Structure 1
């Protein structure tokens, strides 16, 4: 941030999108049963439902987009 000035609107927007995309990446990663085990991994259906309606180009994505690279939140 610039010293003494509030952040510009686009800076706020970009930081928000980055933060939300990082959270999406965490959720996707947590569905990996090989890494976290069946007991501790998230169910893919829970992640798919949680993020439904928030992704860019969601209508053009496969039903199970969890293994697709570069899925982004559309804000």
Structure 2
């Protein structure tokens, strides 16, 4: 996500709110942001946690990503 720091913080706020409400797309994207350290400080544990939640909510790309990393869901 590109934009001013203020817009990035607002984007992140709403993405987290959405993920916390069980939105699998938000969980997936937030997980990827944490893994890459994009907008947020990189944190593998948090990133994988969000990806696990997305996979448990049937997000196909999250399941595929975790399978490629040999991480059981």
With structure 2 as the length reference, what TM-score do the two structures score? Answer: 0.41
User: Normalised by the size of structure 1, how large is the TM-score?
Assistant: 0.40
Give 1 or 2 for the bigger CA radius of gyration. Answer: 1
Of the two structures, which has the highest relative contact order with CA contacts closer than 8 Å and spacing of 6 or more? 1
